Amino acid sequence: MPIALKQEQTPMAARTYRVGIVGAGQHVAYSSEVHSLRDDPSIPVRNTVVAGHAASLALMPNVEVVGICDLDPKRTERFKRAWSSKWPDLRLYSDYKEMLRSEDIDILTVATPDHLHADVAVHAAGTGVKGILCEKPIATSLSDADRIIEACDSNGVVLTVDHTKRWTAFYHEVREAVRSGAIGPVGTIVATLAGRKMLFRDGTHVIDAICFFAESDPVKVSAVVEEGFESWDRYRGSGIDDQDGEPGASGFIQFANGIRALYCGTGGTFPGTWLQISGPKGQVHVDAHEESAYVMTGNVEVGGVQRRNLIARPFQVQRIVAAYHEMIGLIERGGEGVSSGREARKTLQIILGFLKSHQEGGKLVPVPEAD
C-alpha cells in the first residue's frame, strides 16, 4: 500500500509548500465538470469526489498555490476569480519561466495539453523545484518522456504522473486481492474503455490500470486503431479534448511475466471502464468507473462458484490530494511513489507500440524503446 493512502502517514503540516501551476484549463480550475456551468467554480454543486488540481490543493493545509500560468489571460483571470479568496497572494503569469524565476516554487504542476508537458517539466527540473506533478500521459513521445525523467533524475526532483486512479483505495484493494493468490497467478486481463475513446487522453488511464495490475514490463503489442486515423504513426493530435481528434484502438499486450492483456477502447458503447483479471482459480471483475468489484472463485463445472464483493477500506486521502500528499512525503523522506515517471513510461510505450503495430497491419511488434 503506498504511503499516500495510509492515513497515519499523512505528512504533518510542518511547513508550507509553494505550488505553481502551468495550464489553467478545465482539469486545473474546476472541482468537476459540473462546476464550469456555474459562476463560481470553487463552490461544489454536488456531493462528488474532488477531481481538479485547485480543488484538491485547497483541501491541504500544507500547500499554497502562489502562481498560476496560462498563455490565455482569460483562463488565469478565471482561476483568480475562483481561487484568490483561498490563496490571496496568488500571482498570474503567461510565461512559466518567469513564474519559476519569481516565485521560489517547491512543487510545479504541469497541466498543459498532452504533447506540451516536456518543455515545461524539463525546464522546471533545473530551477530548484523539489517535485513535479505532471499530468497524464507523461508525454506523447518517448523522447519527451525520457527528457522529463532524465531531467528530474539528474536534479533530484520527485516526478509523479497523475494517473489518478493509482491513489484510490479501490485499486489497491483489487491489487491486494490479486496479490493474495485467491485467483492464482494472473493469466489474462481484459480491459474495456467505453463511452470515451481517445487513445492518449483517455486510454492512458485504462492501459495504466492494466500495467498497475499486471505488475510487469510490456514486451510485445499488436493493435488496430480506428478507421480514419491511418496517418497516425505517432501522436498527431492538437492536445485538446476532442473525441473526434484522436483514435480509439483495440489492442493486445504481452508482459514479461507472461500476462496477456486485451484493451478494447473504440468508443460507441455504454460508458464506463471494466477490467476482468483472470487466473486459474478465479477472476476479479472490476467496474473501475463505479468502483465496485467482486472476486469469483470455485469450480464452474461442478457449480461451486463463490462470489465475494471487494469493499475498499476507507481512507481519508485519495486521488489528486493523495498524489500531492505522497509527493510531499517523497520530498521529505525519499522512496518510490505509486505513479513514477518510469511507470507512466510503460503506458506510453504500449500506446506508441499500438500505433507502430497498426502501421504494420496489426502485426505483433516489440514495444518501442525509443521514437
Amino acid identity, position 116: L
The CA distance from 142 to 290, in Å, is 32
Nearest residue (CB) to ligand NAD, 186 versus 327: 327
Q: How open is the CA angle 252-255-260, to the nearest 5 degrees? A: 45
Torsion sign, CA atoms 265, 269, 274, 280:
negative
Q: How far is the CB of 23 from ligand NAD (least distance, A)?
A: 3
Query: Which grid cell sits at 171?
Result: 485499486
| DSSP class of 302 | T
174 binds ligand NAD (CB under 6 A): no
How many C-beta atoms surround the C-beta of residue 276 within 10 A? 15
Q: Contact letters (x/-) for ligand NAD, 117-136, by CB under 6 A?
A: ------------------xx
**Burial class of 62 by CB neighbour count within 10 A (0 to 12, 13 to 18, 19+):** middle
Q: How far is the CB of 37 from ligand NAD (least distance, A)?
A: 15
214 binds ligand NAD (CB under 6 A): no
Q: How far is the CB of 270 from ligand NAD (least distance, A)?
A: 20
Residues in the interface with ligand NAD (CB under 6 A) total: 25
The CA distance from 256 to 186, in Å, is 12
User: Which stretch, 1-9, 64-72, 224-232, 353-361, contacts ligand NAD (CB under 6 A)?
Assistant: 64-72
Q: How far is the CB of 106 from ligand NAD (least distance, A)?
A: 19
Q: Contact letters (x/-) for ligand NAD, 74-93, by CB under 6 A?
A: -x------------------
Q: How far is the CB of 77 from ligand NAD (least distance, A)?
A: 12
Nearest residue (CB) to ligand NAD, 279 versus 337: 337
Question: Quick check: 194 and 269 in contact, CB under 8 A?
Answer: yes
Q: How far is the CB of 364 from ligand NAD (least distance, A)?
A: 28
Q: How far is the CB of 302 from ligand NAD (least distance, A)?
A: 43
Question: Quick check: 167 and 49 in contact, CB under 8 A?
Answer: no
Find the binder of ligand NAD among 103, 106, 144, 162 (CB under 6 A).
Answer: 162
Q: How far is the CB of 201 from ligand NAD (least distance, A)?
A: 5
User: Which stretch, 35-43, 80-88, 107-115, 124-132, contacts ligand NAD (CB under 6 A)?
Assistant: 107-115
Return the closest-CA partner of residue 148 out of 164, 167, 129, 165.
Answer: 129
The CA distance from 295 to 255, in Å, is 23
Return the closest-CA partner of residue 104 out of 66, 132, 68.
Answer: 66
Nearest residue (CB) to ligand NAD, 248 versus 279: 248
Q: Contact letters (x/-) for ligand NAD, 9-48, by CB under 6 A?
A: -------------xxxxxxx--------------------
Q: How open is the CA angle 187-191-197, to the nearest 5 degrees? A: 155
How many C-beta atoms surround the C-beta of residue 129 within 10 A? 24
340 binds ligand NAD (CB under 6 A): no
Query: Which grid cell sits at 142?
Result: 518517448
Nearest residue (CB) to ligand NAD, 38 versus 307: 38
Report phi then psi at 65, rounded to 5.
Answer: -80, 115
| Residues at the interface with ligand NAD (CB under 6 A) | 22-28, 69-72, 75, 96, 111-114, 116, 135-136, 162, 164, 201, 240-241
